[in-house]
Structure 1
């Protein structure tokens, strides 16, 4: 290419770029397209045009441009970055990984890319690779608060408590009003029963986001109040279980001696027959599924956490698995003979809607089996504890069941798990429609 022609292309590109940044999208698009007509394999205007379409909220037009520019030899790194981000927004984290790896071959000290790669690894169930990526990110971009927060989350998931707290604190030092690490550190401190410190962080969240449901809920679980909320926020419950899905069974079974699925099954066992339509409500990783599956014509599992469902799918025990918000309308293709639910109702105070939905989804004579934490005060219906979970009174449970046409078959008071080394008392209930 002659120098004059190259200079002309550069001039048009710079002029188009200035128009783009000034919001003159029509002029910018015209300029980028003019260049690509004359020089169709130049990645820079191709990528710039894609970014222009993103700025206009037209990702469907941007994506093919990024794909083409990222596939050039050498690839356009801006296009690789934008395509990686688009894929992650579409929840295609696996597809983003090779794009970021390609970038890091050329820019091995790009902290932002290491951070994005870490998120992709975390979302695809590769915690060790995620940890390595986030550590690289904070090494190359030590003032990047988001990377420190992500490192904290990964350390938290792997049970490295003090290191996680330090990472969250570093994110806050860099960006004092950064909501996410304040919330994360508050939840972690609350688990450690350092309630006053946790309260400070929740209040910092509410200074920036007064309507933050999770901070409001967790603060109320510590400080109490005359009227507890009806349920934990959906986003909070989803976040808890998405984060712990990878290590859920080892933590719950080995460390907390969690036996509720087995205990509940033994109570239900006398009422089980062959070829039952069964719903595992809040199935998690499917801890109880192996017990019920031999009696099932079909076994449906539902949960609010996508990550938990991925782990449940690995067991290959369910006929159907789906993301499900328990408080929304229940729409299933069959009426169930049994609905069972272990350690799920503890995230809801008011159980009226859940029990009403269960009644509507059961066949005549169908059974409902579930667990709750035990509230000793029978004058109250339910109470929100500093654990962020609810406890219910026996009187309230019986009233709810009676109101929605259930006849109690069995009720047992037992230890349902351990918390801070002490047993947590609960009720196991089986009722018939």
Structure 2
């Protein structure tokens, strides 16, 4: 006897799934209506109905349908997994993680469930959970390259550098020209504070792609040089990948409060909000959310189009420019803005010897430049590249640049910029005032 004969809804469900995958949402809805008429309490119908509702932008309808699916079949893995994934996509991480752990217990050997659980853990910033399930996955499929890469990356993020480097080294030994493994080893070596150990692999990457700006950057790092700035090809995909969950990760997980603090300072000085603001490295628009609509212009600049797409959803920015901040400042006419901000962005921009004078030129008389830096040792170089891959700046050097550019008042406040691995990241916030 065929599966369709024993399960008369199967043909409708299979067809609806295909239609949803193709974006044929109107016909998918009609097909699901037929399936619902066949069996009104089929949890699979409500699960697919949830996926369909999310595709149409009806998030509430998606939750209603998926919760109905779970209520009809509380221990059915696929329905639980889809609910957990929706929760994660909507940044409801606590319930997402709890639901994911439940479905992993119900179906411990289901590789599709495993992939979903690991994705949820990463979205939630729960690296320890991801590592636990990646190890479990490698028990199910020993030697799997994709799982080993993910595990090695997560171990590095957790500061387990030796374990990470052991995995990356083994992957490179197995396939000496695999660019993903070579890059992974280089990045993990930098994070471990051992960049010189990866020089051979960085050189191999450059041999494989001589024109690649990122590989050239890695060669510089691993031979002991400090590049003056990071290539856009490195930072853009990093932030494109973080865009969906950046706000929640930064504010909740990393305790990032700088946009709110700076917005309060700006509004205190301009209570009528009659000003033009240039937000360099605007990201997902956290500063704009805190400022609200201005009686002027709020312009966002960011390399990542995905981040700008998130910022645009807040409906507070007037325009965006997808460009390197150095280029944005260099190409902007004089005297346009009362305030320029660069929050948590100079840590990727590197050398500031041109950026600060250009910001001074772009400010209107009486304008203010506000930016943050991570702190470099006063006994070291003016610019340091940290194992995190971010730049730190010497406070005395930054103050000297501001004064040389023409700022008549330069206020510097020590600050905890954010937290990482439960530890504070120390830095400073600079406010430079241009003479009226």
Please give the range of the TM-score, normalised by the shorter of the 2 chains. 0.5 to 0.7
If you compute each CA radius of gyration, which structure gives the higher value, 1 or 2? 1
Q: Which residue of 2 aligns with 1:22?
A: none
Q: Which residue of 2 aligns with 1:209?
A: 209
Determine if contact 1:330/1:357 at 8 Å carries over to the other structure: no
The 1:169–1:242 alpha-carbon spacing in structure 2 relative to 1, beyond 3 Å, is farther
Determine if contact 2:402/2:410 at 8 Å carries over to the other structure: no
What is the CA-CA distance between 1:189 and the residue it aligns to? 6.6
What is the CA-CA distance between 1:221 and the residue it aligns to? 4.8
Alpha carbon RMSD of aligned pairs, Å? 4.3
The 1:311–1:189 alpha-carbon spacing in structure 2 relative to 1, beyond 3 Å, is farther
Q: Which residue of 2 aligns with 1:377?
A: 378
Determine if contact 1:382/1:390 at 8 Å carries over to the other structure: yes
* In 2, Cα distance between equivalents of 1:316 and 1:150: 39
Q: Which residue of 1 aligns with 2:367?
A: 366
1:320-371 Cα shifts (integer Å, max 9, x gaps): 1221211223236981111111100111332022112212221111111110
* Deviating more after overlay: 415-424 vs 309-318: 415-424
* In 1, Cα distance between equivalents of 2:286 and 2:151: 24
- Secondary structure of 1:397's counterpart equals helix
The 1:257–1:381 alpha-carbon spacing in structure 2 relative to 1, beyond 3 Å, is same
* In 2, Cα distance between equivalents of 1:153 and 1:306: 25
The 1:373–1:306 alpha-carbon spacing in structure 2 relative to 1, beyond 3 Å, is same
Determine if contact 1:277/1:337 at 8 Å carries over to the other structure: yes
- Secondary structure of 2:409's counterpart equals strand
* In 1, Cα distance between equivalents of 2:418 and 2:286: 14
Q: Which residue of 2 aligns with 1:402?
A: 403
Q: Which residue of 1 aligns with 2:338?
A: 337
Q: Does structure 1 residue 182 correspond to structure 2 residue 182? A: yes
**1:215-230 → structure 2 map (5 Å cutoff):** 215-218=215-218, 221=221, 224-225=224-225, 228-230=226-228
The 1:167–1:392 alpha-carbon spacing in structure 2 relative to 1, beyond 3 Å, is closer
What is the CA-CA distance between 1:193 and the residue it aligns to? 6.8
Q: Which residue of 2 aligns with 1:239?
A: 237
The 1:422–1:187 alpha-carbon spacing in structure 2 relative to 1, beyond 3 Å, is same
The 1:421–1:193 alpha-carbon spacing in structure 2 relative to 1, beyond 3 Å, is farther
Give the number of equivalent residue pairs: 299
* In 1, Cα distance between equivalents of 2:294 and 2:200: 50
What is the CA-CA distance between 1:309 and the residue it aligns to? 0.6
* In 1, Cα distance between equivalents of 2:334 and 2:360: 15
TM-score by length of 1: 0.57
Q: Which residue of 1 aligns with 2:37?
A: none
What is the CA-CA distance between 1:182 and the residue it aligns to? 2.6
* In 2, Cα distance between equivalents of 1:383 and 1:238: 21
Determine if contact 2:195/2:221 at 8 Å carries over to the other structure: no
The 1:174–1:393 alpha-carbon spacing in structure 2 relative to 1, beyond 3 Å, is closer
What is the CA-CA distance between 1:265 and the residue it aligns to? 3.0
1:127-178 Cα shifts (integer Å, max 9, x gaps): x79997xx89xxxxxxxxxx97799689979x9999x999999986885413
* Deviating more after overlay: 403-412 vs 307-316: 403-412
TM-score by length of 2: 0.57
- Secondary structure of 1:406's counterpart equals coil
The 1:407–1:334 alpha-carbon spacing in structure 2 relative to 1, beyond 3 Å, is closer
Determine if contact 1:378/1:395 at 8 Å carries over to the other structure: no
Q: Which residue of 2 aligns with 1:356?
A: 357
Gaps of 5+ in 1: 1-96, 101-120, 137-146
Gaps of 5+ in 2: 1-20, 25-54, 56-81, 90-110, 117-143
The 1:230–1:197 alpha-carbon spacing in structure 2 relative to 1, beyond 3 Å, is closer
- Secondary structure of 2:430's counterpart equals strand
Q: Which residue of 1 aligns with 2:325?
A: 326
- Secondary structure of 1:288's counterpart equals helix
